[in-house]
Structure 1
Amino acid sequence: MTMGTRVYLARLAGLPVFDPNGDRVGRVRDAVVRLRTTNRPPQIVGLVAEMALRRRIFLPVGRITSMDSEAVVLASGALNLRRFEKRPNELLALEDLLDRRVTVVPEQEGGEENDAVVVDIGMDLNRNTEWMVTRVAVRAHTGRLARRGHIYQVEYNRVRGLVGPTDTQGTSNLIALLEQMRPADMANALQDLPDARRNEVAAALDDRRLADVLEELPEHDQVEILIQLDRERAADVLERMDPDDAADLLAELPKTEQIVLLDLMEPEEAAPVRQLMSYRPGTAGSVMTSEPVILTPDATVAEALARIREPELSPVVAAQVFVARAPSDTPTGKYLGMVHFQRLLREPPSTIVGGLVDSGIEPLRPHLTLHEITRRMATYDLVAMPVVDGTHRLLGAVTVDDVLDHSLPRDWRDRDADAHEDEDLEP
């Protein structure tokens, strides 16, 4: 192997995996630790890589020709694409061992034992070309939230409790790794965790990050995580979700719980959610976002471009601006039309958007079905369409991701719903 004889596993997380031709296979998500029946250190038998469509597969360590701080490279040969499943005698280094509370035994007899938290696992290549857990990086546990202990390394045989019960496992270091992922990838990683661990990690995220991740999870996982939070925290998280996603999540809860959480939300945040929940499921009103980019007709192209550059906007929402008379919050004044971002890019910054609107496409009405919405969007090659009421006020916009979310099977985000079939790929 063209690699060093010691590798730290947390540093591999997120690295790209390439085949011998330089084509990207996926990204490293974890390492598989096989426990021994003797007192020998655990063995690292392979990596877990995430491929397209969120499929996680096992990469035997013998197939790896190189792993460094930049990438992991595989040897040639068929790659087994069966979805990874952990065996009874196996642990995942980052999922199961990171953040463990352990006891560090002193090197010399009579020394003092120290409490610590695991921050990384080091593996070394032995003379039999086996990768063994030999080092553990830990942070001294001071018991004080305001003062973090120093980080140091110890030999594996000086650590007690590393592979014991999981009730002494924290979340901070795992979250630090997950924070590097996109919300969809983090949601996928959470689905791999045991339910209790998943709920614990999710609860430790800040409100904004948790809201983003909830939007990417299957509905049953969303509900399970939300109900584990106290109601005030749950309401705060719902406020930070897109109104349409918050409405969909609340719709999965009992009516009494819906009322309580909506009452705990700030009135201005709860209002659009209540409105979306009032529409019949499967209609434009129930799937639309009530917060598209809306400008008055006297706004300039420069102002419009500044709005769609806002980083929190999704690509489909930022693909166009909707022009309406004041007020600009939904429901707006009279809807006038839309301007696509490509048109904005072709015009001088001082141009008034009221003179650029495309008013030739009939807006959607709240009662229209998903079938009709899909037909119209396909006809005009649009990624978003306006929704107006009977007096032509803009209520929101249906985006292509809204349509996909509600057209696919309800369990499309659920990894457990995928077929577990063997496939082979020649890298």
Structure 2
Amino acid sequence: MSTTSQPRFYAARLVGTTVFDPLGDAVARVRDIVVLPQSRGAARAVGLVVEVAGKRRVFLPITRVTAISPGQVISTGVLNVRRFEKRSGELLVVGDLLDRAVTLTDGTGGATVLDIALDQNRHKDWEVSRLHLRRPRRGSSLSRLVSRGETLTVELNEVTGLYGTQEEQSAHLLAASYQDLNPADLAEILQELDAKRRIELAGELADERLANVLEELPEDIRVEVVTGLDATRAADILDAMDPDDAADLVQELPEQVASQLLNLMEPEEAEDVRRLLAYDEYTAGGMMTTEPLIVAPETPVAHCLAMISREALHAALASTVHVCRSPLETPSGKLLGIVHFQQLLRERPDRPVGEILDNDKVAVGPTAPLSAVTREMATYNLVSIPVIDEEGRLLGAVTVDDVLDHMLPDDWREQDEPVPTTGQIDLSEIARATARDTAKEG
């Protein structure tokens, strides 16, 4: 807040601030400010985008905010819990305006928006009032290399282009603001952006990061993203994806695009995808990953545990080690059996895994339908199941998340969670529920 008598806050500094209900319980965190541009150049804040329990982003109307001060936002405690969706004409201060290029009206050139101040007027409305800017350093090429330029704060009427057709917010800054989100949450945000911004943001994400996000997106949006990228980059993303997810995506692409990307992929990765494309989508072969954990029978338990501890390994795949004859890549030599993670924890580190194989040699063939796969997994309480050919060689493994993806409706990622019939919830209830869950975990 400003130290002057006029209430003021800066948008970028407000992001991450805790929202409290009237009882003092922390119920959410601020993630953005929603503004509506006015006819005379100003923009009025209409609400905040806040994140409640479960990483859900919802809209908190500004009329339900009773105070904004350093380190805290106080609300009335009542909130509509439907997922936030930006309405026509609305802008997100962080998502749309920060780092936008503007032009100074004094003729000194352009600048970039670093932060935006909102003041409360006599009608108690919050309005965009001042901009904190950075403009390029003038002078020699060397001076521009060693300095990012001067910063200055100006009144809103001293610039043009803030809401117009100026260069959009840099996707780099937008990506940085979302770096702490898990792939599913970032995928939800990508769905809220327009197509152009979606491609810009995707272009700023690292290959592994974007690959994980694409796996969480609805079919139409991930096709849009992949076809909007440069072909070489799109092929790199497919390389980074799990083979089964890459195969699902390739199936959704136009035939000509799919063929081009397969030819640009790394040969080994492309071969895995082509093998999976040979099977129907709703069979074990169509659902399986070709990269399960595979070891030889003489491998010690300690080595298996080290393989499982890799951060990049999905939890479902980490649950099971497949013990096979050489070769140890799919299609492998004969599958001897599997060993579950819990069993490994109970054995001495130097014991060969071939001595502790699971007695239930459960596996399915690549043409087994979804119903057969789910029945076997449910019967034997498995989170993954081996897929073998007629000669007993391991082709891959189907994990429980793959099964759920195929059992749920195609649009399950786009469906909102159930909400109370009134569409509202007391924020203090969220706080109390979160406290109860934390206590249980403790």
TM-score between both structures, scaled by the size of structure 1: 0.87
Distance 1:336 1:91, change over 3 A: same
Q: Name whichever of 93-102 and 411-420 sits farther off.
A: 411-420
Distance 1:355 1:364, change over 3 A: same
Name the SS for the 2:371 alignment partner: helix
User: What's the CA shift for 1:251?
Assistant: 0.2
The amino acid across from 1:269 in the alignment is E
Matches within 5 A, 1:191-230: 191-230=191-230
CA distance in 2, matches of 1:104, 1:350: 70
Residue deviations 1:227-260 (CA, integer Å, cap 9, x gap): 1122222111111111111100000123232222
Kept in 1, the 8 Å contact 2:114–2:134? The answer is yes
> In the alignment, which residue of structure 2 is the partner of 1:120?
115
Kept in 1, the 8 Å contact 2:19–2:73? The answer is yes
Q: Name whichever of 189-198 and 116-125 sits farther off.
A: 116-125
> In the alignment, which residue of structure 2 is the partner of 1:317?
317
Residue deviations 1:349-369 (CA, integer Å, cap 9, x gap): 222222222141421111111
CA distance in 2, matches of 1:348, 1:21: 53
Q: Name whichever of 168-177 and 379-388 sits farther off.
A: 168-177
The amino acid across from 2:111 in the alignment is A
> In the alignment, which residue of structure 2 is the partner of 1:328?
328
> In the alignment, which residue of structure 1 is the partner of 2:186?
186
CA distance in 2, matches of 1:146, 1:16: 38
The amino acid across from 2:317 in the alignment is V
2:128 to 115, 133, 136: 133
User: What's the CA shift for 1:421?
Assistant: 8.2
User: What's the CA shift for 1:73?
Assistant: 5.3
1:29 to 18, 28, 31: 31
CA distance in 2, matches of 1:367, 1:26: 48
CA distance in 2, matches of 1:27, 1:293: 39
Distance 1:389 1:68, change over 3 A: farther
Matched, 1:162 2:162: yes
Unpaired runs of at least 5, structure 2: 428-442
User: What's the CA shift for 1:286?
Assistant: 0.4
> In the alignment, which residue of structure 2 is the partner of 1:43?
44
User: What's the CA shift for 1:90?
Assistant: 2.4
The amino acid across from 2:34 in the alignment is V
User: What's the CA shift for 1:63?
Assistant: 2.8
Kept in 1, the 8 Å contact 2:45–2:127? The answer is yes
> In the alignment, which residue of structure 1 is the partner of 2:378?
378
CA distance in 1, matches of 2:419, 2:410: 16
Kept in 2, the 8 Å contact 1:99–1:173? The answer is yes
CA distance in 2, matches of 1:247, 1:320: 23
User: What's the CA shift for 1:132?
Assistant: 2.7
CA distance in 2, matches of 1:67, 1:388: 61
CA distance in 2, matches of 1:343, 1:36: 65
> In the alignment, which residue of structure 2 is the partner of 1:59?
60
Name the SS for the 1:413 alignment partner: helix
The amino acid across from 1:262 in the alignment is L
> In the alignment, which residue of structure 1 is the partner of 2:151?
152
Distance 1:66 1:317, change over 3 A: farther
Distance 1:84 1:337, change over 3 A: same
Distance 1:97 1:392, change over 3 A: same
Kept in 2, the 8 Å contact 1:48–1:58? The answer is yes
Q: Name whichever of 26-35 and 178-187 sits farther off.
A: 26-35
Kept in 2, the 8 Å contact 1:65–1:75? The answer is yes
> In the alignment, which residue of structure 1 is the partner of 2:258?
258
Kept in 1, the 8 Å contact 2:28–2:52? The answer is yes
Residue deviations 1:133-161 (CA, integer Å, cap 9, x gap): 23323332469996672462413422321
Distance 1:10 1:182, change over 3 A: farther
> In the alignment, which residue of structure 1 is the partner of 2:9?
7
| RMSD (Å) for aligned C-alpha atoms | 3.1
CA distance in 2, matches of 1:178, 1:10: 13
Distance 1:387 1:156, change over 3 A: farther
Distance 1:162 1:286, change over 3 A: same
> In the alignment, which residue of structure 1 is the partner of 2:282?
282
> In the alignment, which residue of structure 1 is the partner of 2:357?
357
Kept in 2, the 8 Å contact 1:411–1:417? The answer is no
Distance 1:197 1:422, change over 3 A: farther
Distance 1:328 1:46, change over 3 A: same
The amino acid across from 1:152 in the alignment is T
User: What's the CA shift for 1:401?
Assistant: 0.5
Distance 1:418 1:386, change over 3 A: same
Kept in 1, the 8 Å contact 2:12–2:94? The answer is yes
Matched, 1:79 2:74: no
> In the alignment, which residue of structure 2 is the partner of 1:109?
none
User: What's the CA shift for 1:301?
Assistant: 1.6
Kept in 2, the 8 Å contact 1:294–1:321? The answer is yes
Q: Name whichever of 17-26 and 273-282 sits farther off.
A: 17-26
